[in-house]
């Protein structure tokens, strides 16, 4: 499992660690790691390489100047563009000069490597105009072989909102981000994460001082392998859990079929379907036991309700039936729409877990406003308000619990942006709930595997929802081997 911390917590940890160390130690550790990574990016060919430093007025600029000094000592031609020459890290600048580096008053046309040290975790608001103007021109810098210069962001790409992952305006689009001590939310959430490129974490000894809860957590393959329920010698189809799907309608039978496909790829021992697409479902999936309504269905251990269900009186009845059980319930799509206006909000005050899986539109309908710039915060607020685990879909899907625990999914793939892929996710997640996984782990694990399935399916070309479902099995084969 990986974790990311908010700026205030990073600062507190840094302060307590610095109290035990000689002045400047952390910056020296950070700069040494940064310089090492830069040398690797130059293929070890540091001598003669053209390196441009973009240097802001804070310690982020200080890290950058010291790293530039280290590269200059190895023979690189290092030029520092100081954004505010009157406010620069003086010791860092002296180190650069002493090592043979220079300052420059303009952005050169050519550079092999650019270090973005304009602003780090001390950023407030969007980049100011002079910095934004420089950042806009970075894409046109050419290096030794005529390729675009390699851009390394120091700690975070300048211009991103560090605690939320938002990109409010112009921001550096880095190839590599070298960060120090721990990950921050911008490395893993939202459009900022995309701007980071590859993220390298340099250990500066901050770990033991990070005693506060992380802002967000990220599952890794080993977590999924550990959590995923697998049948044992004494398992039978019932003890593995039975998942029920109250989805689809005469107008949208496909949602029922896709949800069942996702559920069948999951760990439960049986899939029951309740709804008007029952004949189509059984034709397509002979192992599914189908009935026309929830009330006619046999026992299950978790319900998935909503995809393609419609919002009429019948849909309302089915939603009420699943919410009246004492079982875990996943509400997706039309079931979320039916909750709007608080008509069923009181039904969410139940002891058994509820998982809501909105995309942005459904989120807006339910919460009354879009997730906005702080997607993790928005998901956490909705989770607290609804007393449900909220899985907010997107490029970096967020999972938030009513208690404020937040996870972000690292495996997303734009290939999943295809109709019906959310139905597959709902089925898979429901299967995990039925197999007994706690709601938050079920949501995190389903998003993780679904994301990998999207990537796997995309290897063969353009992806449709059935391709995503078909890819779940090979992906799981690799995870669980
Ligand atoms: N934490 C750690 O463990 C360690 C941290 N380390 C390093 O320190 C960095 C944090 O340094 P920091 O605190 O000096 O802040 P920093 O990011 O340089 O920014 C402040 C300056 O930027 C300016 N500025 C602000 N907003 C702006 C905007 N929108 N657009 C343009 N400018 C803007 C602001 O100007 P002002 O508002 O004062 O006019 C201020 O002068 C951290 O990211 C890491 O690299 C490592 O050395 C060691 C371990
Ligand atoms: N650009 C994207 N990158 C990664 N994942 C995406 C992207 N767009 C959508 N997804 C994922 O695709 C799925 C789409 O679900 P949803 O919007 O409910 O579609 P549908 O209702 O058609 O099934 C979600 O899991 C979401 O996280």
> For position 182, which CATH number holds?
3.40.50.10260
**So what's the ipTM on this one?**
0.92
Instruction: Round the CA-based radius of gyration of the chain to a whole number and report it.
Output: 26
Residues 230 and 141 occupy one common structural domain: no
As a whole number of angstroms, the distance between CA 349 and CA 336 comes to 15
Residues 357 and 397 occupy one common structural domain: yes
Tokens found for residue 228:
């995923």
Q: Total domain count for the chain? A: 2
As a whole number of angstroms, the distance between CA 434 and CA 271 comes to 10
DSSP string, 233-299: TT--TTTT-EEEEE---SS-HHHHHHHHHHHHTSS-SEEEEESTTHHHHHHH-TT-EEESSGGG---
For residue 90, the enclosing domain spans 2-216
- The model's pLDDT over 68-95, given as tens digits with 9 standing for 90+, comes to 999 999 999 999 999 999 999 999 999 9
Q: What 3-state class would DSSP assign to 158? A: coil
Domain's final residue, options 216, 241, 260: 216
Domain's final residue, options 216, 242, 258: 216
Please give the span between the terminal C-alpha atoms of the chain, in angstroms, as a whole number: 19
Residues 206 and 231 occupy one common structural domain: no
Pocket-testing residue among 188, 261, 394, 464, ligand 2, by greatest number of atoms within 8 A of Cβ: 394
Residues 346 and 469 occupy one common structural domain: yes
Report if pTM > 0.90.
yes
Residues 298 and 335 occupy one common structural domain: yes
Residues 26 and 155 occupy one common structural domain: yes
Domain's final residue, options 151, 186, 216: 216
DSSP string, 407-442: EE-S---GGG-STTHHHHHHHHHHHHHHTT--HHHH
Residues 366 and 243 occupy one common structural domain: yes
The atom of ligand 1 lying closest to the CA of 125 is 29
Residues 366 and 397 occupy one common structural domain: yes
What separation in Å is there between the alpha carbon of 406 and the centre of ligand 1? 26
- Residue 154 Cβ inside 6 Å of ligand 1? The answer reads yes
How many CA atoms does the CB half-sphere of 440 hold within 13 Å? 17
Whether 82 contacts 104, CB under 8 Å: no
The atom of ligand 2 lying closest to the CA of 414 is 3
Which candidate, 297, 251, 253, places its Cα nearest to that of 273? 297
- Residue 359 Cβ inside 6 Å of ligand 2? The answer reads yes
- Residue 360 Cβ inside 6 Å of ligand 2? The answer reads no
Residues 297 and 240 occupy one common structural domain: yes
Residues 9 and 79 occupy one common structural domain: yes
pLDDT of res. 172: 98
Residues 464 and 328 occupy one common structural domain: yes
CA distances to 47, 364, 413 from 361, in Å: 53, 5, 19
What separation in Å is there between the alpha carbon of 158 and the centre of ligand 2? 28
Whether 383 contacts 367, CB under 8 Å: no
- All residue ranges of the chain with pLDDT < 50 are none
CA distances to 8, 353, 384, 404 from 349, in Å: 34, 10, 11, 17
As a whole number of angstroms, the distance between CA 152 and CA 97 comes to 21
pLDDT of res. 78: 98
Residues 179 and 312 occupy one common structural domain: no
């Amino acid at each position: 499992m990986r974790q990311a911390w908010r700026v205030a917590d990073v600062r507190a940890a840094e302060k307590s660690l610095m109290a035990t160390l000689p002045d400047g130690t952390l910056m020296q550790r950070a700069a040494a790691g940064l310089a090492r990574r830069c040398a690797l990016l130059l293929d070890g060919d540091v001598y003669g390489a053209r390196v441009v430093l973009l240097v802001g007025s804070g310690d982020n600029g200080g890290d950058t100047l010291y790293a530039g000094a280290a590269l200059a000592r190895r023979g690189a031609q290092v030029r520092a563009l100081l954004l505010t020459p009157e406010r620069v890290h003086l010791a860092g600048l002296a180190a650069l000069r002493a090592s043979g580096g220079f300052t420059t008053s303009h952005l050169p046309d050519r550079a092999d490597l650019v270090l973005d040290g304009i602003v780090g975790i001390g950023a407030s608001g969007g980049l100011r105009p002079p910095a934004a103007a420089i950042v806009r021109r970075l894409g046109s810098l050419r290096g030794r072989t005529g390729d675009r210069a390699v851009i390394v962001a120091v700690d975070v790409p300048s211009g991103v909102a560090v605690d939320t992952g938002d990109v409010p305006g112009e921001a550096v689009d880095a190839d590599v981000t070298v960060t120090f001590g721990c990950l921050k939310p911008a490395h893993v959430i939202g459009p900022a994460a995309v701007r980071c490129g590859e993220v390298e974490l340099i250990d500066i000894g901050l770990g033991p001082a990070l005693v506060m809860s992380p802002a967000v957590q990220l599952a890794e393959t080993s977590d999924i392998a550990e959590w995923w329920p697998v049948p044992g010698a004494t398992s039978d189809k019932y003890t593995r859990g039975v998942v029920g799907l109250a989805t689809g309608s005469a107008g949208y039978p496909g949602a029922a079929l896709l949800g069942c496909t996702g559920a069948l790829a999951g760990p439960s021992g049986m899939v029951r379907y309740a709804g008007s697409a029952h004949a189509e479902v059984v034709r397509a999936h002979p192992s599914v036991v189908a009935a026309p309504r929830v009330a006619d269905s046999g026992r299950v251990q978790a319900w998935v309700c909503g995809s393609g269900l419609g919002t009429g009186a019948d849909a309302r009845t089915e939603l009420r039936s699943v919410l009246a059980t004492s079982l875990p319930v996943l509400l997706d799509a039309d079931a979320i729409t039916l909750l709007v206006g608080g008509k069923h909000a009181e039904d969410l005050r139940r002891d058994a877990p509820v998982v809501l899986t909105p995309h942005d539109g459904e989120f807006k309908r339910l919460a009354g406003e879009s997730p906005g710039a702080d997607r993790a915060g928005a998901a956490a607020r909705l989770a607290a308000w609804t007393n449900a685990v909220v899985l907010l879909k997107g490029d970096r899907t967020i999972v938030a619990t009513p208690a404020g625990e937040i996870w972000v999914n690292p495996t997303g793939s734009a290939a999943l942006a295809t109709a019906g892929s959310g139905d597959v996710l709902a089925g898979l997640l429901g299967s995990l709930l039925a197999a007994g996984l706690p709601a938050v782990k079920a949501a995190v694990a389903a998003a993780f595997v679904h994301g990998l399935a999207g990537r796997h399916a995309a290897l063969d070309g353009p992806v449709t929802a059935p391709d995503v479902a078909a890819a779940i099995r090979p992906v799981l084969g690799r995870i669980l081997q």
